[in-house]
Amino acid sequence: MAELIYAASIARSLENTLLGQEKITRMVFASSYEEGVKVLTEAGFGNMAEGGVDGMIAGEEAKLARFMKEVGDLKGMRSFALKNDYHNSKAFMKGKYGKIDDVTFMLAPAGTIDIEKLKDAVMNDSYEGLPKGMAAALAEIDSYFASNPHSGRYIDCTLDKAMYAHVLEESKKAASVEKYWKVEIDHANVQILLRMKKAGAGEKDFKDELIPGGTVALGTLLSLYEEDGSVILEKLKYTCVAKAAGEYAASKSFARFEACKDNEQLEIFKNDRYDVFSVAPIAGYYVAKKLELKAVKMITTLLKINADKALIKERLREFYV
């Protein structure tokens, strides 16, 4: 319990370093890309000397990864770090089969597995020291590619299924963290449904991409796939993804769909972030920081091309502080 209280207290103090609504809003309405970046430098975000904005973001990502490593396995928190492990395993598999010598540009900070160890395992087809689900997924990809065309999408789909099974198992230690992952799975499945229906993909291809473990039954999603697009959107109003689906129905854009998902996940921890006897302050800070990094990437990219402010605002998430 003392370890949890200490970690929660650290997370609460780190909230003060988040950019928050005022600084993000200043970035959005900056007169130029340079003015937007100035907001970051004044806030002490990252280190401008190390690779410009990309270096600043990488520095903040590394800090967050170190924090997560220190937190360790407190009440399901390890599940968040696992996402980086699976992301990196995808990068190394794509490098192996795409004959890309250096995949550094694809990598996330290390999660629970040392990056060099993971690279060595993937490149040498030696998965014994990796988590069971990840090892099985990597071996499955190797076997499939032995007699089928190499596909980045197949790598993503296979490792995503393994990852979500793994994080759900880890997150059973905290109901709020488990709920976070179920929200992500439900929205991912509905996004797959809407994208593949629009593309006219076959039902078998759709079924192969669905991720088990969400609250919306896979059978329900399969039955929806047989309907027309307008009927699908109408019926989604009666599911747990109603708000995101409604945003998509109104805009026909996944930008607001994804923003709704992110907002819902943040809300899980937001109301309990003052409870230092729970994992909420720790998970809440982590999720808020990830959304901040996503916002900074998005805003600076759109400022650089002088995009319309409405386009930027459409993609903004709710604020933690």
**Residue 245 maps to which CATH number?**
1.20.1690
In order along its 321 residues, the chain shows pLDDT tens digits of 788 888 999 999 999 999 999 999 999 999 999 999 999 999 999 876 667 899 999 999 989 988 988 887 888 999 999 999 999 999 999 999 999 999 999 999 999 999 999 999 999 999 999 999 999 999 999 999 999 999 999 999 999 999 999 999 999 989 999 999 999 999 999 999 999 999 999 999 999 999 999 999 999 999 999 999 899 999 999 999 999 999 999 988 899 999 999 999 999 999 888 888 889 999 999 999 999 999 999 999 999 999 988 888 888 888 876
Residue 300 confidence (pLDDT): 95
Residue 314 confidence (pLDDT): 82
Same domain flag for 255 and 181: yes
Same domain flag for 71 and 82: no
Contact (Cβ atoms closer than 8 angstroms) between residue 42 and residue 19? no
Residue 277 confidence (pLDDT): 86
Print the domain residue range for 60: 1-75+280-321
pTM, rounded to two decimals: 0.92
The tally of CA atoms less than 13 A away on the side-chain side of residue 37 is 18
Residue 285 confidence (pLDDT): 96
Residue where a domain stops, chosen among 259, 277, 295: 277
Tell the burial category of 253 from Cβ atoms under 10 Å away from its Cβ (0-12, 13-18, 19+): middle
Residue 321 confidence (pLDDT): 65
What single letter denotes the amino acid at residue 22? E
Residue 72 confidence (pLDDT): 79
Contact (Cβ atoms closer than 8 angstroms) between residue 76 and residue 174? yes
What single letter denotes the amino acid at residue 5? I
Same domain flag for 248 and 289: no
Residue 82 CA to residue 78 CA, distance in Å, equals 6
Contact (Cβ atoms closer than 8 angstroms) between residue 97 and residue 145? yes
Residue 316 CA to residue 295 CA, distance in Å, equals 7
Same domain flag for 71 and 13: yes
Q: Give the count of domains, the chain.
A: 3
Same domain flag for 272 and 180: yes
Same domain flag for 165 and 99: yes
Residue 311 confidence (pLDDT): 84
Same domain flag for 112 and 200: no
Residue 159 confidence (pLDDT): 98
**Residue 55 maps to which CATH number?**
1.10.132
